[in-house]
Chain A
Amino acid sequence: MKKYTLTNLTDAHGWLGIIISSLLFTVFFTGSISLFRDEIFQWSVQPTQTIEQGEILSVSKIMQLAIADRPFNAKEHLTIIPPSEETPYYKAYVDLIEEEAGREYIGLLLDPVSGKVVGEIDQFILAEFMYRLHRDLNIPYGVYLIGFVTLFFFFMVLSGILMHARKLIANFFQYRTDPHSRSKLLDMHNVIGTISLPFTLMYALSGLIFNLVIIYQIAFAIILYKGDQEALLNDAGVHSVEVEWQSKPHHYQHIDHLIEQYRHEFGHMPAVVRMYNYGDKSAAMHLIGRVDGMFAQRYEVALNLSDDSIIFKDDAKQHSEVRHGVDTLSELHFGGFAGINLRFIYFILGIAVCALIVTGNMLWIEKRQKRRHASQRSVKFLTHTTLVSTLGVGLACCVAFLAERLLPVALSNRADFVIYAFVSCLVLSAIVAVYINKQTLLVGSFVIASIVLILTVCSDWLMYSENLQLLWRANELTVFGMQAGLAVIAFLFIYIAHKLAKKKTKLGNETPGELVTA
């Protein structure tokens, strides 16, 4: 490789890295948390509401309970998500008549035994909020923004390989402990980058396909399909159910029988049951679930309830490879194919990539500092941005957990307050970072984060101790697993703060280099 090629690549790697680092860190950090989305949701809900013990109600009964006394728009959809290992409640999404209800739909959580409405799904926003931050930063068109960030991340991975190629094997385990911090940081950056390479490549590719597939979809629809988007979606295995409303009220009795039939055929209860024209003679049912014993193979069946005729059916024998491929990537992306142990490995790798981003920024800042003509203002600005986008985001996430626990369940617009807590904390840390010594900020952030997490766990017990005892007796351990996880992270933060405080005493006057050393 020519020398200028390597120099140009190194320059681009550094510059683009520093530009996308804040967003990329947020994506990886919240993505790592989102690996436990179901567990976080359970932790949010379960202590506030105990589940009654007994026989689980049928899907058809839940459908009736979900639409009872609500301006249900039967011409639209009624979607039921049956309880599973991940979520012990029935979830129901009821499309409403907008003029009467003032909104398009309502998401309900229902007790699987009594059928009582536990609350609205959107009330317990934390898990979904973390996931949305990961997917689209919770902003309009965020999907495309994150898509392009992922594209640059893909470039960073490839350029990183080329830059490090000659030493990839020889220096694989190299971690120099000499006092020159740059060697340490560089080794850390290279070792994490090399170890996490298959993981980062998979994340970059799958993330791009999830977020930017629209580009190729448009190109294909225009050029290959002459504008016929329907035909393209059909080839890609995306089907839609079209049934004509007949205005003939009818109550079908065999919904549960059909669900049971397909559960038996594919070995798994459908994860989603969606009704079209529910309550009308023209009603259709759409089932989506996993095929037992297959990696990332889903089944999808849509049928007319009037004569049980099949509208479309996708399964292991008959499916679109596009759908299967995207499902496989999705399974790899979310680590959902090998239980909680794999998700722990994914979590560690995700956090390692966060460390990769931070060390990358530190290397760039240090390099820039040493340049005689480099603007010190830009160095200061980047140090500040790095601190806020890493420590600030981490601390804001901890505060969001505390808010989710402390805010009363009955509070209207509860979800908004959780989001306000996150944003306020982020803004506050950005302001505080301007005035406080960077070392103090580092130590202080870890200490505050650990206090917030410990407070969260304590609040669980102070507010909902009775329900927690009931959960323990019912052997429902997810909430306790979450509490243990939060406590471990809190103690880890205390340990890091202690180590940093020790270093702080060794350091003299503050320079941006302190950040690098720390």
Chain B
Amino acid sequence: MLHKTIVAILAGCLLSISIMLNLNYLLPLNIDQKLIIGLLVAFPMWAIAMVMSYSSKSAKQAWKRCGYPLVVSMSINAFYFIG
């Protein structure tokens, strides 16, 4: 349970930040609108990541479940950040 909790908090936090940043890059809106939408989406994303993590068989599976979307999302982050 402890390992899953670490995944849930850490991966959930990173995933939500990453998705929030992507929304900020992708949405064709004003900056204040993007910020509030990002904020409203970020916490549910974190909670969903927690659900994914805690419903896993093991911490390893939890890392896999949260890690794949995190890698994809962070790749998009990197693309926009470098570009």
- Whether A associates with B in a native complex is yes
Residues of A within 8 A of B (CB): 4-6, 8-9, 11-12, 15-16, 148, 151-152, 154-155, 158-159, 162, 204-205, 208-209, 212-213, 215-216, 219-220, 223-224, 235-237, 320-326
Cα separation A236 to B36 with both chains bound (whole Å): 8
Sample of 28 A–B contacts (CB below 8 Å): A4-B57, A5-B55, A8-B56, A8-B57, A151-B46, A152-B50, A154-B47, A155-B51, A155-B54, A158-B48, A159-B55, A162-B51, A162-B55, A205-B40, A205-B44, A209-B40, A212-B43, A213-B39, A216-B20, A216-B38, A220-B24, A235-B35, A236-B32, A321-B30, A322-B35, A322-B36, A322-B39, A325-B36
Q: Judging by beta carbons under 8 Å apart, are B56 and A321 in contact?
A: no
Interface size on B, residues (CB 8 A): 32
The interface residues of chain A lying within 8 Å CB-to-CB of B51 are: 9, 155, 158-159, 162
Nearest CB of B to A416, in Å: 36
User: 11 other contacts beyond A5-B55, A320-B32, A325-B40, with CB at 8 A cut-off?
Assistant: A9-B51, A11-B1, A151-B47, A154-B44, A154-B46, A155-B54, A220-B20, A224-B24, A235-B32, A322-B35, A322-B36
A-B pair count, CB < 8 Å, reads 94
Instruction: Please state if B55 and A8 are interface contacts (CB–CB under 8 Å).
Output: yes
Which A residues lie within 8 Å of B4 (CB)?
12
Q: Are B32 and A209 closer than 8 Å at their CB atoms?
A: no
Contacts of A12 in B (CB 8 A): 1, 4, 54-55
The chain B residues found within 8 Å of chain A, CB to CB, are 1, 4, 8-9, 13, 16-17, 20-21, 24, 30-33, 35-36, 38-40, 42-44, 46-48, 50-51, 54-57, 81
For residue A322, which residues in chain B have a CB less than 8 angstroms away from its CB? 32, 35-36, 39
The B interface is mostly helix, strand or loop, or mixed, namely: helix
Q: Which residue of A lies closest to B20 (CB)?
A: A216
Cβ-defined contact, A159 with B39, below 8 A: no
Q: How far is A204 from B40 in the complex, measured between Cα atoms in Å?
A: 11
Most buried by A among B13, B32, B42: B32
User: Nearest Cβ in chain B — how far from A194, in angstroms?
Assistant: 18
Q: Are B17 and A216 in contact (CB under 8 A)?
A: yes
Q: How many Å lie between the Cα of A320 and that of B39 in the bound state?
A: 14
Q: A154, A235, A326: which contacts B43 (Cβ < 8 A)?
A: A154
- Report if A223-B32 is in contact (Cβ < 8 Å); known contacts: A155-B54, A158-B48, A325-B40: no
Of A151, A159, A205, A323, the most chain B CB neighbours within 10 A belong to A151
| B19–chain A nearest beta-carbon distance, Å | 11
Report the Cα distance A9→B54, complex, angstroms: 6
